[in-house]
Chain A
Amino acid sequence: MKHLLSTGDVTRDEATLILDTADELLAVAQRPIKKLPTLRGRTVVNLFFEDSTRTRISFEAAAKRLSADVINFSAKGSSVSKGESLKDTALTLQAMGADAVVIRHHASGAPYRLAHAEWSYGAVINAGDGSHEHPTQALLDAFTMRRHLGDLDGKRITIVGDVLHSRVARSNALLLHTLGAHVTLVAPPTLLPVGVDTWPVSTSYDLDAEVEKADAVMMLRVQRERMNASYFPSAREYSRRYGLDQARMNRMPVHAIVMHPGPMNRGMEISADVADSGRSVIVEQVTNGVAVRMAVLYLLLGGEQ
């Protein structure tokens, strides 16, 4: 594995290796010295063309805990046309000797272009591209599920909300399928992407029926900026039909967990009491994110290049 662009490229063995490695690296956060010397002298560039708080900070913490040098490159406001700017940026990074580039871009496929255009030689890690994929989020979600539910083979995972615009849903669907879990996407018909029938998932419009069978329920953020685009009649109706409130949570099996990739709209897709309940692992997802990203950086950069 040279790059991490899509969870569709990751085999079951590779995914298990990443999750097992993260298991060991999680303990580093509990130690008095939260640092390993492994990536000393390596340079990791965080190249963010789109706003992000937790993903960028998480990657930065992960790289620093492995002793890599981190350069944060925020390309917001760049007026150069997309293709050119990405190429010029890549050439700059190559000149600086970047060993890995963590890229978030509003255009789907930008990380793939960066990895395959031969502008630079470092590893490319996709930190979210358009509405395409967000592989490290899926890996940390799978990691969190595995810690609570054990082996994911045969587990039932329900993903609810704006699947159409969600890179998290796509990455999760592919990865969880690879790991042997059954994924069900629940969304209004307008928020399911065209071609979802070719995904390795089942779909449903009925959240009440699905929560009763789920081992984990993952709520997706409703992107407020899209609320006027007639995807659903009103926020209130969406919340009633596809939001997770206390009553719905009580219908879940006792062992089932509630997840959310963040940032949350409390009161919209998830009610505040559910988000703060004992079954919510949302804060833990953030903690696990650092360990999973450390595992990815180590496995891509730790050995011979």
Chain B
Amino acid sequence: MVESADLPPASDGASGISRTVLDGADITRALTRITHEILERNRGSADVVLLGIPTRGVHLANRIAERMTEVEGNPVSAGALDVTMYRDDLRMRPARSLEHTDIPDDVDDKIVVLVDDVLYSGRTIRAALDALNDLGRPRAVQLAVLVDRGHREVPLRADFVGKNLPTSLSEKVKVRLAETDDVDAVTIVGGAA
């Protein structure tokens, strides 16, 4: 089984206990709905800039951009925003390598939609807001996530959610996407069985 790069291997304690909560078709439907919700809220894609958080957020942003292009008929591109240099836990681990940042368009006065796979503590998104602050001044910033698993540590919420997934802290949510992991699936691993 391919492990998510963002999460440690699920070999601790209750190993092997994993259940799939979203399969490929579920993910496709969720992304299609999120696409329409973004378009509805912003009355089209005219000023929308999609920025994915590496690595899986970028794949999701690209998929949403593809769907938007189909629906709207005009090309929508997605970028990537690496937040490593803005994280608040840099000093708790050895220096980590940077991911690619690619801002397709000027963000000034645009509606930036941040895209990530799992919303958990909210600290990554807080870092992303700081990073965005150094790139310009968007008219609005919105947040789209595939899974919201709760346990926020900062006052943030998502605007577009694929699935709300109540979890316990001992569980791990693994998102696998075809681009990096050969298969589309969201699974919950571990926890009290």
Contact = CB atoms under 8 A, between A and B. Distances in A.
B92 to A, nearest CB: 6
A304 B82 contact: no
Q: Which of B82, B86, B93, B134 has the most CB of A within 10 A?
A: B134
B29 interface: no
Contact of A38 (B90, B101, B135): B90
Contacts of B98: 20-21, 24-25
Interface string B78-93: 0000100110001111
Nearest to B98: A24
B97 A304 contact: no
Nearest to B127: A37
Contacts of B41: none
A227 B82 CA distance: 51
B85 A303 contact: no
Contacts of A35: 134
B90 A303 contact: yes
Interface string B56-98: 0000000000000000000000000010011000111111111
Interface in A26-60: 27, 31-33, 35-38
Interface string B118-140: 00000000000010001110000
Interface string B147-164: 000000000000000000
Contacts of A298: 85, 95
A71 interface: no
Nearest to A22: B98
A32 B133 CA distance: 11
Interface residues on A, range: 20 to 34
B110 to A, nearest CB: 14
B136 A302 contact: no
A24 B100 contact: yes
Nearest to A17: B97
A37 B95 contact: no
Nearest to B133: A33
Nearest to A27: B101
Nearest to A38: B85
A304 B92 contact: yes
A91 interface: no
Given A38-B90, A302-B90, A304-B93, A32 B85 contact: no
A25 B95 CA distance: 14
Contacts of A27: 101
Contacts of A20: 97-98
A299 interface: yes
A299 B97 CA distance: 8
A26 to B, nearest CB: 11
A230 interface: no
Contacts of A305: 91
B99 to A, nearest CB: 8
Contact of B135 (A32, A300, A302): A32
Nearest to B100: A24
B93 A36 contact: no
A300 B90 CA distance: 12
A304 B96 CA distance: 10
Interface of A: 17, 20-21, 24-25, 27, 31-33, 35-38, 298-305
The 5 closest A-B CB pairs, nearest first, are: A303-B95, A302-B95, A303-B94, A24-B98, A33-B134
Interface of B: 82, 85-86, 90-101, 130, 134-136
Given A24-B101, A25-B98, A37-B130, 12 more contacts: A17-B97, A24-B98, A24-B99, A27-B101, A31-B135, A35-B134, A36-B85, A36-B134, A38-B85, A302-B90, A302-B95, A303-B94
